Structure 1
Amino acid sequence: MAAPTSLSLGHGPARREALTRRIRLLVAATISYNVIEAVVAITAGTAASSTALIGFGLDSVIEVSSAAAVAWQFSAREHAARQARERTTLRIIAVSFFALAAYVGVDAVRALAGTGEAGRSVPGIVLAALSLAVMPFLSAAQRRAGRELGSASAVADSRQTLLCTYLSAVLLVGLVLNATLGWFWADPLAALVIAAIAVKEGRDAWRGKGCCAPTPVAPPSPGTEADACGRDCR
């Protein structure tokens, strides 16, 4: 599929720097929120013996590593240097997706096997609801800036944040059903679906798909990275 002719076409240095600053700010906000989220989730999960809550907290730690990789990429002063760090950043994000999928999948299987019943957790329910409200906005803002700038890593990290939204919804439903109806299996079953999505997103990040790179003035040679980036833009 051909790359769309968006606002990214013909971006000058000033616009690129403005988008870069926006991504830095969004990444900083994501890291800050996830650090707090991890501490609260792991603490509440330990108190309630909830593997779902603890897993959610560890997911936040993984998200911090992903966002930190993007922060490292965009800490470079020159645009060319940031582009040079793109592939390494994508690899880190991809590995974080795979790590998340592995943990969530194993944790879900353990929960379905009945390794222990979790107690009610009001702090966990509040945290899940808050994350469900906050994360979509952070993800959408970073995705827009990343696509306009043509940064595959920023777009991939926004997907990591969006995945946290799905996990928040799964966690919220699981905690509420467990607290009200005792349906312990609802959360791990949905978590397996999330794990499958994480594997797909990790594979796409590893391949550099979905980057939405700016359409170049001169078409790249067939088979080059820029050409692949344009074909996979979506």
Structure 2
Amino acid sequence: MISMDDHKRYYKVAFGLAVFTILYNLAEGILSTYLGFTDESLVLFGFGTDSFIEVISGLGIAHMVIRIRRNPGSKRDEFERTALRITGFAFYILVAGLVITSCYNIWTGHQPITTFWGVVISGVSILVMWALVLWKRKVGKKLQSEPILADANCTLVCVYMSVILLVSSGLYAWFGLPYVDSIGTLGLSYFAFKEGRECFEKARSDRYCCCD
């Protein structure tokens, strides 16, 4: 058991991590979509768009932390369910756009100008997101909070997507492999679809994470 002062301190840390996640994803989204557009890298552009969607999800997480701090035994409220539904719809729209554009790029043989920034951004993202996973797990264990631990586990999806961006961007930057940008985008689409499905599953129930 932890003291009441430590209890309050760890909840402040949890809220701070949620806010940092929102701000980081916002900055990552702006940078990635801009560079993805100028470099004609669909996988980087899609990665950035996913980051914007994660901002919406992050708002729901920040609200959740405030709720469970005030009432640890409370259930998911309407604000969180609405945020989950909006996030789910946004992921499905993203998936449709990425799949269609990927297939078009493969059909026309379109290649990005460069994927250098994809390598840089993905490398930074892996480090930041993995640190967030470890920190959220530490806070969740200290507070014995299932919601915070679930959020930490779901943050792993961002690590997986960053790895896809790193691999696809690296293979094109170093070996010039054709279609790898589009194939990487389809990989992002797979995880985005899973995230969208999980958002709707969580919105319909009181489970905190449908991630596996």
TM-score range, shorter-chain basis? 0.7 to 0.9
Contact 1:76–1:82 (CA under 8 A) maintained in structure 2: no
Q: Cα deviations across residues 43-75 of structure 1 (Å, max 9, x unaligned)?
A: 211111122212211111111222122223445
CA distance in 1, matches of 2:123, 2:160: 11
Q: Percent identity among equivalent residues?
A: 24
Number of positions where the alignment pairs a residue of Structure 1 with one of Structure 2: 203
Deviations 1:170-211 (A, max 9, x none): 111222223322233431332233134213432442223246
Give the equivalent residue in structure 1 for 2:22: 31
Question: What is the CA RMSD across the aligned residues, in angstroms?
Answer: 3.2
Corresponding position: 1:150 with 2:125: no
Retained in 1: the 8 A contact 2:46–2:188?
A: no
Unaligned runs of 5+ in 2: none
Residue of structure 2 aligned with 1:58, choices 32, 49, 67: 49
Between Structure 1 and Structure 2, the one with more helix by share is 2
**Paired position in structure 2 for 1:109:** 100
Deviation, 1:157, is 4.0
Alignment of 1:184-195 (within 5 A): 184=180, 185-195=182-192
- Give the distance between the partners of 1:14 and 1:74, measured in 2 at CA: 17
Offset at 1:81? 9.2
> 1-side partners of 2:90 and 2:127: how far apart?
25
Any conservation in 2 of the 1:48–1:121 contact (CA below 8 Å)? yes
User: CA–CA distance in 2 between the matches of 1:29 and 1:72?
Assistant: 14
Aligned partner of 1:41 in structure 2 is 32
Deviation string, structure 1 residues 114-135 (Cα, Å, up to 9, x no partner): 2643221312210011111220
Matched residue type, 2:163: A
Question: Which of 194, 199, 204 is the aligned partner of 1:197?
Answer: 194
The two structures have a TM-score, normalised by structure 1, of 0.71
Which of the numbers 88, 113, 117 marks the counterpart of 1:119?
A: 113
CA contact (8 A) 1:142 1:155 kept: yes
Q: Is the 8 A contact 1:69 1:92 kept in 2?
A: yes
2:61 maps to 1:70: yes
Shift of 1:101: 4.2
AA aligned opposite 1:208: D
Question: Deviation of residue 41 (structure 1)?
Answer: 0.5
1:131 and 2:125 correspond: yes
Shift in Å, 1:19: 2.7
Distance 1:78 1:141, change over 3 A: closer
Q: Which runs of 5+ in 1 are unaligned?
A: 1-6, 212-231
